[in-house]
Structure 1
Amino acid sequence: MALAGLSAVFLFEMLDNSVLNVALPTIGRDLGSSTTGLQWVSGAYSVAFGGLMLLFGAVADRFGRRRVMLSGLVLLAVASLATAVVTTTGELVAVRVLMGVAAAMTTPGSMALAFRLFDDEGLRVRALTVISTAGLVGLAVGPTVGGFVLAVAPWQVLLLADVPIALLALVGIRLGVARDESAGLRRDPVDVVGALLGTAATAGALVTPTLLVDAGSASVPGWLVLVLTVVSATGFVIRERTARSPLVDLHLLARPLVSSGLAFKAASGLAVGGLSYLVTLQLQFAWGWPPVLAAVGTLPQVVVLLAGGRFVGPFVQRVGLGRAAWTSAAAVVSGLAVFGALSRHGYVWVLVALVLVAAGMRVVGVVAGASVLTGLPADRTSVGAALVDTSSELAGGAAVAVAGTVVAAVVTGSITTTTWSADRLAAFQDALTVAGVGLAVVAALLVVVGMLRARHTDGPEDPVDAPTSDVPQTTTDTPAPTDPTRPTTHAEETTRA
């Protein structure tokens, strides 16, 4: 029951954005949205989710992961119900912000609570695999389900579906997960100043490009937000380096396992978020496909994701945990690159892109997250899980912001309400190409960074930054010979899995 509840949390986290993407044209026409307004229907969730996740991860480590998660699920159900009365784009964006806050409250504790369910390390890894699979399935089937639902029901139904998912998670966690014990919680105060600076820097980084394009490069508010973003980011780094109880211990981020895992997760998030948004624009705007046909067009991704589960374990066992992380991240990035460079030449290239991304994200979600959690102390599991999801969600939000900004800069007027001429359609297609290729280049650089950092795992960690005995390290891609008389470590079990 507990595992079902935790899986439901990851399901709604990944389903929310993917199921809405296929409905963006319908929402734009129904609410009369501008190009940037439509972008923020998708991006507002990521801004709130990614910006607040570290804060709620720190809060959960101190006040109880179960308690914070249950509160977030109640907020999710209420925010989803509010969709029924939405009549403007601004109202929908506000609802999406609330849903992002709810996701930030619920997601960081999921991995931590999964670790607490089992004493056996092998079962812990299997539990994480089950939970992440639920999320990946939601990400893959979202566009397909959304397309078919739009054929028979209004778009509001897509967000109202979060209500039963939230109730399932609420029941499963409340009845299946024990209350937090005070001995397992941190006692130092929450770094509120660091949280505010980090949230401001995150939100500003995602909002600034949109403001500068939407209001013009001479926009005073746009440049003001840019300055505030830089100041907030600088202040955040200074604060975390000097605070007695920092929100994020920057020394932990320097650990090879942690930094490489976060880089791979960010690369995957950037590619998945960018592809999901751009495929919707390609199929429904550039090619004029109705939502149902667009849903059918995304089915190959669902098939690969569901069928690929049985191959994840043997693949990781054959190539090793580290190599599995970078090759799977590279596959996701390659899918976005194929879409950006070749999608204008026909659906077959969209198909190739979807298959590559599905195959890669089926692996990277588990191995990158396991690397980060393995490299952190036991009392930082919620913050560690928050770091994993923050890197992915912020990268996905940045991808949507960049793609939307490029389209808004190249194509004049709203893409939802104006007539498509040949010149306008060509400009729109050029914008998709520039956005896809550009995002793929950035994601590829993140994969390279992850590979370089992963090389340092061949040696021992710095003793000053060494993790506690409860969280052993992974050393190499190939598990070292072990003494059969001693217990296996979490890292060894993870590598075998």
Structure 2
Amino acid sequence: MTVITLDKPGGAGSLRAVWPAILGLSVVFLVEMLDNSVLNVALPTIARELQASATDLQWITSGYSLLFGGLMMAFGAIADRFGTRRMMLIGLALFALANLAVLIVHTPGQLIAVRAAIGVTAATTAPGTMALCFRLFDAENLLMRATSLITTVGLVGLAVGPTVGGLVLQALPWQTLLVMNVPIAVLAILCIRTGIPADDPAQRNTSPLDLPGALLGTVTIVLALWTATLAVEEGWSHATPWLAGLGAVVTAIVFVVHERRTAHPLFDFALIRRPAVSASLAYEAAMGLGMAVIAFSVSLQLQLVWGWTPAQAALGNLPQIIVMLAIGPFVEKIVTRLGTQRAARIGAAAVITGLLVYALLGRYDYVWIAVALALTAGGMRVVATIAGVTVMRGLPEDQTSTGAALSDTSQEVASSIGMAVTGTIVAAALTGSLSDITGGTASATAFQNAVTTATLALTVVCAALVTWAARRART
């Protein structure tokens, strides 16, 4: 990871000077994160009104995430060739139409198709968020400040999504949760059109698009994400997770072989060998693994083992949200004071410490859970910002959208693996279902022991990735 300098000339001189662009990009990231969580609270209502089965509900939620995560790399490569700003505007328009289509939904199959379309259109916009942000500034401190602001808005959306959804459902039909994305997308279109200059043809990637590579890469990522989903929902005793996982391995091997042989690869693997890029991707994967076990376990523990209500459990997660918001404005100052490498190491150490606190002490008192949430949130906030900026700076200008997609995909896949590992260990420890857990019983003890085991296992992997990344960054 290279040391960030803070005195590059050129570009906008402040965030205020390009506020329409920053607002538009923040809104794009916000709506992507909201769509990950806002509809979950409406699933009982959807099941009742559309007579949807459990399998239907699974595909309503996972169909979006599978296509969103799987297509980002392909659409990033397309944006580098077609124009990042143009791709963003087209994607936002299609995203608005896809959400509006919920008004004609009458069956579970139709809703699954709409959610799939929303996932595809969201994937067209995701790589451009950071790529267009990097077009606005040359000064690294402004880039870090803008990146921190945009990601803060998105993380807030992810955190408050269920709460917003619950409040909306109190007065309006569930379709409103998707229709409300339409005016948000229109606002983003207006801001980006007025705030970001048109694509410069000289900065586009002129090499032919590797369509076979794009297809293989997409199938690999979708199968990897689907494997993790199936492992949590069905368990490894079923054949489907094994078949999906085997398919992911096979397509990954074919993808690598193809990319090494083709004259114009979708992504040049030589770029990943750059210390700045590989170290940053390792940091991001570590953060994805670490945060997955927290996201999976804390709410379940508070509600199933300790008997908290859903509202109380939501309040119990507040330390994470508060720290993420509070530390955002200080990331730039932390990096300036400590240096990029040292700040990344300290942030990663905070995440690892938080995981250990949760694994060893979280079962005894909520105060330890609050400490763990605060440490992991603060550390992840610093590391994610540094890693995101460094990945983008370590890539050629005509591959910034591909680089942004690579960064997002690494976190998405790592998070899914972390969820699968945690879910598998918990499922293996329980003789019944999660709903059978009651505080003070043997099942509650088994659940907590399993969470401790999963957290410690992922912490070891997380620490190994961080150690490798820190050494790689010194190269």
TM-score normalised to the size of structure 1?
0.79
Structure 1 residue 297: deviation in Å? 1.6
Is residue 72 from structure 1 mapped to residue 91 from structure 2 by the alignment?
yes
Q: Partner residue of 2:470?
A: 451
Is residue 296 from structure 1 mapped to residue 315 from structure 2 by the alignment?
yes
CA distance in 1, matches of 2:46, 2:461: 29
Q: Is the 8 A contact 2:229 2:416 kept in 1?
A: no
Q: Is the 8 A contact 1:83 1:92 kept in 2?
A: yes
1:269-418 correspondence runs (5 A):
269-411=288-430, 415=434
Q: Partner residue of 1:234?
A: 253
CA distance in 2, matches of 1:328, 1:212: 30
Bigger drift between 88-97 and 282-291 goes to 88-97
What runs of 5+ residues in structure 1 fail to find an aligned partner? 457-497
Cα distance, 1:415–1:66 mapped onto 2, change above 3 Å = same
Q: Partner residue of 1:243?
A: 262
3-state SS of paired residue (1:344): coil
CA distance in 2, matches of 1:88, 1:420: 36
Structure 1 residue 152: deviation in Å? 6.8
Cα distance, 1:91–1:295 mapped onto 2, change above 3 Å = farther
Q: Partner residue of 2:154?
A: 135
**What's the % identity of the aligned pairs?**
52
Structure 1 residue 442: deviation in Å? 2.3
CA distance in 1, matches of 2:106, 2:361: 38
Structure 1 residue 83: deviation in Å? 5.8
Structure 1 residue 149: deviation in Å? 5.8
The one-letter amino acid paired with 2:345 is W
Q: Partner residue of 1:62?
A: 81
RMSD across aligned positions (CA): 3.4
Find 2:123's aligned residue among 100, 104, 124. 104
The one-letter amino acid paired with 1:251 is A
Cα distance, 1:209–1:122 mapped onto 2, change above 3 Å = closer
The one-letter amino acid paired with 1:327 is I
What runs of 5+ residues in structure 2 fail to find an aligned partner? 1-19
Q: Partner residue of 1:487?
A: none
3-state SS of paired residue (1:190): coil
CA distance in 2, matches of 1:211, 1:136: 26
Find 1:181's aligned residue among 184, 200, 208. 200
Cα distance, 1:18–1:454 mapped onto 2, change above 3 Å = farther
CA offset digits 1:277-308 (Å, max 9, x no partner): 32232233333433322222222222222222
CA distance in 1, matches of 2:282, 2:296: 21
Structure 1 residue 7: deviation in Å? 1.0
CA offset digits 1:149-177 (Å, max 9, x no partner): 67777776555543343232122123322
Q: Is the 8 A contact 1:66 1:113 kept in 2?
A: yes
Q: Is the 8 A contact 1:9 1:169 kept in 2?
A: yes
Is residue 439 from structure 1 mapped to residue 458 from structure 2 by the alignment?
yes
What is the number of residues matched between the two proteins? 453
Q: Partner residue of 2:3?
A: none
The one-letter amino acid paired with 2:417 is A
Q: Is the 8 A contact 2:305 2:437 kept in 1?
A: no
3-state SS of paired residue (2:209): coil
CA distance in 2, matches of 1:204, 1:450: 27
Structure 1 residue 368: deviation in Å? 0.7
CA offset digits 1:215-241 (Å, max 9, x no partner): 675645444333322211111111121
CA distance in 2, matches of 1:89, 1:120: 49
1:168-207 correspondence runs (5 A):
168-207=187-226
CA distance in 1, matches of 2:137, 2:100: 35
Cα distance, 1:328–1:163 mapped onto 2, change above 3 Å = farther
TM-score normalised to the size of structure 2?
0.83
The one-letter amino acid paired with 1:182 is P
3-state SS of paired residue (1:245): coil
The one-letter amino acid paired with 2:305 is A
Q: Partner residue of 2:16?
A: none
Q: Is the 8 A contact 2:37 2:162 kept in 1?
A: yes
